[in-house]
Every structure is written in C-alpha cells, then in structure tokens.
C-alpha cells in the first residue's frame, strides 16, 4: 500500500511541476504585439512615429516606430500595458499634435495581440494653463498650509489674446483617487464618448475685459489674495496689483479668504456656485482643472438649467453635475496624488486630455507646463537668451520619483533673460506637465 501511495504522490507532484513550469514558460516567452495607429476610424498611415509602452507596474518601458502603414511591432512578455503616442507636424500654417493612448493592452500567450491607438488631432491654442498650485506647503514649524492656491494662465502665442470669455472649473470628483461612479464595472468612463464633462462646484468667469499680451501670463489667486509669506515662509505673495482673485460672491463668503487692497475690483472673478458650501472646493490633493470659453450669460443659463444636470453620482446640489460642453473646453490638466496613484482614475475623456501628472502634497510643489523645446528654440528672438540645465523639477534619479521638464530649458530663468517661451501642447497631462519643487512665482 505504501508503495502505491508513494507512486501516486510522485505522479501528482510531477503533474503539478509540469503545470508550474508551463505557467512560467507562458509568462516569460515574449509575444509579438502589433499597434495600429488610427484617426477618425481609419488607419493613420505615417511612418516613423514613436510609440511608447509601459507595463502596469511602471517598471519597464518599450519603444518602437511605425512603418508606412502606421503599424509598430513590439516583442513583449505576457501582461498588461499602456501605450501612448504624440506626433507633431504642421498643416496649412498650423502646429498640430496627434495624441492618443490605450491603457487596455493585455498581451496573452498564443493570441492575436493586435491593438489600436486612436489619435486625436489637437490644434495649437493661444490660452493654456501654465501652472496649478493647490496642494499647499509646510508651515514654519509644524503642520501644512493651503490657503495660498493659485492658477497661472498663459498666452502661448505671438498674438494678444482676449480672455474676457474664459471660464475656469473642475472635473468631478474632487480627487482622482476618490470613489468615481462615472466608471462602470468594466473600467469604462461613462461620458468618454459623450459631448460633455461633469463640471462641479462652480464655473468662474471674469467680470471685466481681460487681455493677455503675447507670451505673457496672469496669476489668479483661488482663496486668499494676500501676501502669505508674512506668516508662512514657504508660501507665496499673491497680493500684487496685477494678480486676479476668485472666491468672493454672494455664497462663497468664507471669512478667511480675503483679497489685498492692492488688487483692484476689476480683477475679481465671479461665479454661479453649484455646491452648497461657503467656498470653492478645489482639491488640495489631486484636482482636475480645466479652462473653457463661454460668455457669462451662457454660463449662468447652463448652471441654472437644473433639468440638464447629470445625476449619475446623485441628485443633491453637491452631486448633480453641470454638463459642460466639450466643444467649449480649451485646456485641462489631470493631477493625481503621488501617494494614491493605484487608486486614481483619469477624469477627462481621451478627446480632451489623456494621461495624468503626479504631485507630492504639502511640500510647496506645483504642476508646471513643459517647454516645447523645438518651437521655443526656433524663435529667432530667443538667440542667446535661453537658459538650460533646468533643475527645478522633482525627479530624483536615485529613487525614481517626481518628474521634470524633458526639454532641459529653464523657462522662468529664460523669461527673465528676455526669451519667449512656447509651452508643450499635446493634450496629455503626463507629457505636458511636470512636478516643480518650488512655485514659479516664489520670490
């Protein structure tokens, strides 16, 4: 009996070992993977376009270029991947960017392993978000401080821009890592193919005409438009006369958010609130900020039309979302908390923005737009004025954390030297922005 029992166990172990070996074999044998670029449902047949692929853990990356049919061939281990592409060209005098990604690439053993990336064509915009600072900084001794949030808007062209009808808002939910009912069980963004995005809390508008000169910016204080450095050394001075201020209106009357007398009333923004709080609920952790173009009267009508709200997340004032038209969106950035990447979701549809940029909270860091190196260097007036060896990012080579501007150009130092900066516009937050270690307006 013992003899037969031993033979049975040996056979079982042999069978289990074979299964184990086969399982390991299946995982380590690389598979051929094809990626087809498409635009408007048809093959995007352009050769030489680089496609980047990263694995789900973010520990391995691969790059191949397309052939004349717009197809790139990879050899990848079995697993899950995200592929992305940005292709810049020119057409009829316009700078164009074709941008796309596919986060659902699952490479299997002995499968077809053929995937598509649908490209969105982006024309260069005049007005863009240059910087977002909402995550706060350390107090002088202990604790953190976040009443000093601001947004910088920039004219990314050589023509004066009219920003009078520009609006500012947020995409729900407040934090990228919060519960998001706009994703179904299969991981699909419910409004991904709709013509709107869920705007929440408020839509801000300018009360007076606003123009931004070529290659210039305006700074907008979100909460306190004061000199915060008087009490918090690591903070910023938001009390300058040329700055703007949002927060004060009939409902958003939080007493701790005030403006310096230096800032004229013509530089105040107003809004039609959607939530029931006493202040704007921009996240100090991981907001998705967007700007759009819409006349003030249209904004008021849009917010007032309660029947047009989306109630996917609920019917209360805090959860029913205004459907802001995609056609009116000008620019956006999806910011994720570096401590909560695995729990986060993108909040823009791919037609408006892909990817995300991470930030470490409460350190005085901001999200700052990358320089378009090629376009900036091509400006003849920049000769001898560009400053290189940018060290303002947060990328730590040893720990592989943070991010930096891949152009290597120090934008702020170059501007002080008289250069004109053209910033990246690919509609991919991960490629357009980086985490900056010190606020750009810090003195």
Could you identify the residue written with the tokens 């042999």?
Answer: 14
| Three-state DSSP state, 358 | strand
Domains of the chain: 27-123 (2.60.40.10), 127-335 (no CATH)
pLDDT, tens digit, 9 for 90 and up, residues 291-335: 999 999 999 999 999 999 999 999 988 899 999 999 999 999 999
Would you state the pLDDT for residue 91? 66
Radius of gyration of the chain (CA): 25
What would the two tokens of residue 369 be?
Answer: 């737009």
Q: What gap in Å lies between CA 16 and CA 417, rounded to an integer? A: 69
Please report the DSSP string for 289-301 in residue order: EEEEE--HHHHHH
Closest CA to 355 of 150, 42, 54, 41: 54
Would you state the pLDDT for residue 90? 66
User: The whole model's pTM is what?
Assistant: 0.79
Higher-pLDDT residue of 148 and 23 is 148
Would you state the pLDDT for residue 28? 65
Q: What is the DSSP letter of 125?
A: P
The answer to whether 356 and 431 have CB atoms below 8 angstroms apart is no
Residue 117: strand pairing partners? 37
**pLDDT (mean) for 370-377:** 96
The answer to whether 133 and 150 have CB atoms below 8 angstroms apart is yes
**pLDDT (mean) for 274-291:** 88
Average pLDDT over the chain, rounded to whole? 90
**pLDDT exceeding 70 applies to what percent of the chain?**
92
Cα first-last separation, the chain? 86
Kindly tell me if the per-residue pLDDT of 128 is higher than 90: yes
Q: What gap in Å lies between CA 177 and CA 193, rounded to an integer? A: 22
Would you state the pLDDT for residue 7? 46
Q: How many CB atoms lie within 10 A of CB 256?
A: 8
**Inter-CA distances, 221 with 57, 146, 151, 243, 294, Å:** 37, 12, 7, 7, 21
pLDDT, tens digit, 9 for 90 and up, residues 2-43: 444 444 444 544 444 454 445 454 456 899 999 999 999 899
């Amino acid at each position: 009996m013992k003899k037969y029992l031993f033979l049975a166990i040996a056979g079982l172990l042999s069978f289990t070992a074979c299964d184990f070996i086969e399982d390991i074999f299946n995982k380590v044998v690389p598979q051929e993977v094809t990626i087809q670029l498409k635009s408007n449902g048809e093959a995007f047949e352009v050769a030489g376009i680089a496609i980047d692929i990263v694995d789900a853990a973010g520990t391995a990356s691969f790059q191949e270029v397309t052939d004349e049919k717009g197809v790139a061939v990879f050899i990848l281990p079995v697993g899950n991947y995200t592929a992305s592409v940005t292709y810049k060209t020119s057409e009829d005098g316009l700078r164009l960017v074709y941008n796309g990604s596919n986060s659902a690439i699952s490479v299997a053993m002995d499968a077809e392993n053929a995937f598509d990336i649908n490209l969105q064509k982006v024309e260069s915009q005049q007005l863009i978000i240059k910087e977002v600072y909402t995550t706060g900084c350390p107090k002088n001794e202990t604790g953190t401080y976040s009443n000093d949030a601001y947004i910088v808007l920039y004219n990314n062209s050589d023509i004066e821009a009219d920003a009078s009808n520009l609006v500012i808002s947020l995409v729900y939910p407040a934090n990228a890592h919060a519960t998001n009912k706009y994703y179904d069980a299969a991981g699909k963004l419910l409004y991904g193919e709709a013509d709107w995005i869920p705007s929440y809390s408020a839509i801000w508008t300018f009360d007076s005409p606003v123009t931004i000169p070529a290659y210039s910016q305006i700074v907008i204080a979100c909460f306190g438009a004061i000199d915060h450095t008087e009490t918090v050394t690591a903070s910023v001075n938001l009390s300058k006369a040329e700055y703007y201020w949002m927060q004060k209106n009939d409902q958003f009357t939080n007493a701790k958010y005030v403006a310096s007398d230096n800032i004229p009333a013509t530089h105040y923004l107003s809004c039609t609130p959607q939530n029931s709080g006493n202040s704007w609920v921009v996240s100090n952790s991981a907001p998705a900020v967007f700007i759009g173009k819409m006349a003030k009267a249209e904004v008021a009508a849009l917010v007032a039309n309660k029947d047009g709200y989306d109630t996917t997340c609920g019917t209360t004032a805090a959860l029913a979302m205004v459907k802001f038209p995609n056609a009116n969106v000008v620019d956006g950035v999806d910011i994720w908390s570096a401590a909560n990447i695995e729990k986060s979701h993108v909040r823009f549809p791919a037609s408006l923005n892909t990817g995300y940029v991470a930030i470490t909270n409460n350190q005085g860091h901001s999200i700052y737009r990358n320089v378009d190196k090629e376009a900036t260097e091509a400006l003849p007036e920049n000769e001898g004025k560009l400053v290189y060896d940018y060290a303002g990012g947060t990328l730590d080579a040893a720990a592989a954390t943070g991010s930096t501007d891949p152009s290597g150009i120090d934008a702020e130092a170059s501007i002080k030297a008289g250069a004109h900066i053209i910033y990246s516009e690919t509609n991919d937050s991960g490629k357009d922005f980086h985490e900056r270690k010190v606020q750009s307006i810090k003195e």
